A and B are shown apart, each in its own frame.
Chain A
Amino acid sequence: MTTFAFENRIWEQDETLSREQLSKLQLERLKQTLEQVANVPFYKKVLAENKLSPDSIKSLDDLRRIPFTNKEDLRQHYPLGFMAVPREQISRIHGSSGTTGKPTFVAYTVGDRERWANLCARFLVAGGLRSNHLVHIAFGFGLFTGGFGLHFGVEKVGAGILPAAAGNTPRQIMLLQDLAAEVLICTPSYSLQIAEVARAQGIDPAQLPLKFGHFGGEPWTEDMRLEIERELGIMAFNNYGLSEVIGPGVSGECVARCGMHIQEDHFIVECINPDTLEPVQQGEQGELVFTSLTKEAMPVLRYRTRDIATLDYSPCPCGRTGVRMSRVVGRTDDMLIIRGVNVFPSQVEEALLRVEGTAPHYLIEVDRPGTLDEVKVHVEIRPQDFSDKMSQMQALRDRIDREIHSVTGIRMKVELVEPQSLERSFGKAQRVIDHRNDK
Chain B
Amino acid sequence: MSDVKCTSNVFHPNSAMDFLPVGQLRQLQLARYQAIVRRAYEKVELFRKRMEERSLKPEDIKSLDDVAKLPFTIKTDLRDTYPFDLFASEMSDIVRLHASSGTTGKPIVVAYTQQDVDVWASVMVRTFAACGLGKGDIIQNSYGYGLFTGGLGAHYGAEALGATVIPTSGGNTERQIMVLKDFNVTAICCTPSYFLHIIERAGEMGIDFKALPLKAGIFGAEPWTENMRVRIEEEGGIKAYDIYGLSEIIGPGVASACCAQEGLHIFEDHFYPEIIDPQTGDPQPDGTEGELVFTTLSKWAMPMIRYRTRDITRLMTEQCPCGRTVRRIARIGRRSDDMFIIRGVNVFPSQIEEALLAVEGTLPHYQIVLTRAKGLDNMEVQVEVTADLFSDKIGAMEGLQQKLGKSVEHIIGIRAKVSLVEPHTIARSEGKAKRLIDKREM
- Tell me, yes or no, whether A binds B: yes
Q: Is the CB of A160 within 8 A of B91?
A: yes
Interface residues of B in 113-153 (CB under 8 A from A): 114, 135-136, 138, 144-147, 151-152
Say yes or no for A165: interface residue by CB 8 A criterion: yes
Say yes or no for A422: interface residue by CB 8 A criterion: no
Q: Is the CB of A92 within 8 A of B96?
A: no
Q: Is the CB of B166 within 8 A of A93?
A: yes
Say yes or no for B388: interface residue by CB 8 A criterion: no
Roughly how many angstroms separate A158 CA and B91 CA in the complex, as a whole number? 12
Roughly how many angstroms separate A165 CA and B166 CA in the complex, as a whole number? 17
Say yes or no for B377: interface residue by CB 8 A criterion: no
Roughly how many angstroms separate A158 CA and B94 CA in the complex, as a whole number? 9
Say yes or no for B280: interface residue by CB 8 A criterion: no
Q: Is the CB of A131 within 8 A of B92?
A: yes
Say yes or no for A161: interface residue by CB 8 A criterion: yes
Q: Is the CB of B164 within 8 A of A91?
A: yes
Say yes or no for B71: interface residue by CB 8 A criterion: no
Roughly how many angstroms separate A168 CA and B94 CA in the complex, as a whole number? 24
Output the least CB separation between A372 and chain B (Å).
14
Say yes or no for B167: interface residue by CB 8 A criterion: yes
Say yes or no for A340: interface residue by CB 8 A criterion: no
Roughly how many angstroms separate A405 CA and B173 CA in the complex, as a whole number? 11
> Looking at chain B's contact residues, is the secondary structure mostly helix, strand, loop, or mixed?
mixed
Interface string of A86-103 (1 = CB under 8 A from B): 011011111000000011
Q: Is the CB of B99 within 8 A of A168?
A: no
Say yes or no for A374: interface residue by CB 8 A criterion: no
Q: Is the CB of B178 within 8 A of A147?
A: no
Q: Is the CB of A92 within 8 A of B159?
A: yes
Q: Is the CB of B95 within 8 A of A160?
A: yes
Interface residues of A in 166-183 (CB under 8 A from B): 166, 168, 170-171, 174-175, 178-179
Say yes or no for B82: interface residue by CB 8 A criterion: yes
Q: Is the CB of A141 within 8 A of B96?
A: no
Roughly how many angstroms separate A211 CA and B82 CA in the complex, as a whole number? 23
Contact-residue size bin, chain B (C-beta under 8 Å from the other chain)? 35 or more
Instruction: Among B136, B147, B175, point to the contact of A163 (Cβ < 8 A).
Output: B147
Interface string of B287-315 (1 = CB under 8 A from A): 00000000000000000000000000000
Chain B hits for A175, CB < 8 A: 99, 107
Roughly how many angstroms separate A325 CA and B51 CA in the complex, as a whole number? 60
- Please name the residue on chain A nearest to B84 by beta carbon: A179
Say yes or no for A155: interface residue by CB 8 A criterion: yes
Q: Is the CB of A160 within 8 A of B97?
A: yes
Instruction: Among B94, B146, B159, B165, point to the contact of A165 (Cβ < 8 A).
Output: B146
Say yes or no for B169: interface residue by CB 8 A criterion: yes
Q: Is the CB of A161 within 8 A of B165?
A: no
Given known contacts A159-B95, A406-B175, A409-B172, A93 and B147 CB-to-CB distance under 8 angstroms: no
Q: Is the CB of A134 within 8 A of B145?
A: no
Roughly how many angstroms separate A170 CA and B411 CA in the complex, as a whole number? 9
Interface string of A145-168 (1 = CB under 8 A from B): 001100000010011111111101
Chain B hits for A134, CB < 8 A: 91, 94, 97
Given known contacts A88-B136, A148-B167, A163 and B152 CB-to-CB distance under 8 angstroms: yes
Output the least CB separation between B287 and chain A (Å).
39
Output the least CB separation between B207 and chain A (Å).
15
Instruction: Among A132, A143, A390, A406, point to the contact of B169 (Cβ < 8 A).
Output: A143
Chain A hits for B174, CB < 8 A: 406
The listed residue with most B CB atoms (<10 A of its CB), out of A159, A171, A405, is A171
Roughly how many angstroms separate A78 CA and B438 CA in the complex, as a whole number? 43
Say yes or no for A283: interface residue by CB 8 A criterion: no
Say yes or no for A317: interface residue by CB 8 A criterion: no
Chain A hits for B146, CB < 8 A: 141, 163-166
Say yes or no for A41: interface residue by CB 8 A criterion: no
Output the least CB separation between A346 and chain B (Å).
17
Interface string of A302-344 (1 = CB under 8 A from B): 0000000000000000000000000000000000000000000
Interface string of B86-108 (1 = CB under 8 A from A): 00000110111111000000110
Q: Is the CB of A93 within 8 A of B159?
A: no
Q: Is the CB of A170 within 8 A of B92?
A: no
Roughly how many angstroms separate A431 CA and B151 CA in the complex, as a whole number? 37
Roughly how many angstroms separate A87 CA and B173 CA in the complex, as a whole number? 25
Say yes or no for B203: interface residue by CB 8 A criterion: no
Output the least CB separation between B373 and chain A (Å).
15
Chain B hits for A405, CB < 8 A: 172
Chain A hits for B172, CB < 8 A: 405-406, 409
Say yes or no for A79: interface residue by CB 8 A criterion: yes
Instruction: Among B82, B138, B169, point to the contact of A178 (Cβ < 8 A).
Output: B82
Given known contacts A93-B183, A102-B178, A163 and B98 CB-to-CB distance under 8 angstroms: yes
Closest 3 interchain pairs by CB?
A165-B146, A141-B145, A142-B169
Given contacts A78-B182, A142-B145, 10 further A-B contacts (CB under 8 A): A91-B165, A93-B164, A93-B167, A94-B167, A142-B168, A147-B145, A163-B96, A165-B145, A175-B107, A406-B175
30 A-B pairs whose Cβ atoms sit less than 8 Å apart in the complex: A78-B182, A88-B135, A92-B166, A93-B166, A93-B167, A132-B91, A141-B145, A141-B146, A142-B167, A142-B168, A143-B166, A143-B167, A148-B167, A155-B95, A158-B114, A161-B95, A161-B96, A162-B96, A162-B99, A163-B145, A163-B146, A163-B147, A164-B146, A165-B144, A168-B410, A168-B413, A178-B109, A179-B83, A405-B172, A409-B172
A residues sitting closer than 8 Å to B (CB atoms) are 78-80, 87-88, 90-94, 102-103, 113, 131-132, 134, 140-143, 147-148, 155, 158-166, 168, 170-171, 174-175, 178-179, 390, 405-406, 409
